Amino acid sequence: MDVGMGNAEHQGALTKGEVLPRPASSQSEGFKQGRSVLNSLLSGAFAGAVAKTAVAPLDRTKIIFQGKNKNSCKPSLTDLQMLIYRTYLKDGFFSLWRGNSATMVRVIPYAAIQFCAHEQYKRILGQYYGFQGKALPPVPRLLAGSLAGTTAAMITYPLDMVRARMAVTPKEMYSNILHVFVRISREEGLQTLYRGFTPTILGVMPYAGLSFFTYETLKKIHTEHTGRSHPFSYERLAFGACAGLIGQSASYPLDVVRRRMQTAGVTGHTYGSILGTMREIVMEEGVIRGLYKGLSMNWVKGPIAVGISFMTFDLMQILLRKLQQFGHSAR
């Protein structure tokens, strides 16, 4: 009896004087969560880099079209091809990837944050709505994508501004990414780095929301009809292409407004508010020719980029999980 009481008193002293270790199950859960976040960051970064590099020439051409005024070439597919060809003849093949280093600096953290945030928002909303580990209902599914895009855009916006400037200016104006930051800060003020930020967020919310919503919905429908929880690679690519087409078409006018505001300092225009910019574009160029300039290219570039991005992310996630399982079994 005395021994039992002594042990109890000793345990009580330890409890009061020392911090007891966390239960093994809690530590394991925290480790799994941390590993999941890391996997999402790595997979998202790789997915973004692969997708953007694949469509970099088209992306640069789209930005040039959006930054031009009404006297520029009309945005038909033939004109886009000619612009790419003229750029190749004038500045060389690799000039089509000019600004891609700035794109990678922005896209890698953006994609990593967006995909990781989406996985976390899905988990949080799944817990809240009681759908943990299952496909979310439509509204939370849309919300998770919108929140993920907004989170990534808020953190990486200045890099997007730099990319837009490098794409529409001569080589002599900016030598590298740091030079863009320095010149903009010195000549136009630090606030210029966030010019066009509001239309970006307003455009990102429907774009990211609809993209993730469409992709997740198509995967859910696929599983219900085929009984396979893992679509083939080409199916993931097709689902992602549909997601990109829908998301970018819905948010395109705000994307044009954002680019106009970002490049205003070097194109000779002065744009103030979102509505003012949109009104000026419509008055000078019309609704279709102005707010949807370059959309035909987006219907080529967007589905390819988003399809590659979603497919690569999913395949990287599967690969990393298999590598981790192999590592555990080898111990």
User: Tens of pLDDT along 230-245?
Assistant: 999 999 999 999 999 9
**CA 51 → CA 57, 87, 159, distances in Å?**
12, 22, 18
Q: Encode burial over 133-166: b for 16+ CB neighbours within 10 A, e otherwise.
A: eebbeeebbbbbbbbbbbbbbeebbbbbbbbbbb
What one-character-per-residue DSSP string does 127-146 give? Answer: HHHT-TTSPPPHHHHHHHHH
Q: Where does 2-55 have alpha helices with state H? A: 2-17, 24-54
Residue 73: the pLDDT is 46
Q: pLDDT tens for residues 154-184?
A: 888 887 777 777 767 776 677 777 888 888 8
- Mean pLDDT, the chain, integer: 80
pTM higher than 0.75 = no
State pLDDT tens for residues 87-120: 777 777 777 787 777 678 778 999 999 999 999 9
| Alpha-carbon span 263 to 52, nearest angstrom | 21
**What gap in Å lies between CA 3 and CA 5, rounded to an integer?**
5
Q: Could you tell me which residues come within 8 angstroms of residue 209 by beta carbon, excluding any fewer than 6 positions away? A: 142, 143, 145, 146, 149, 247
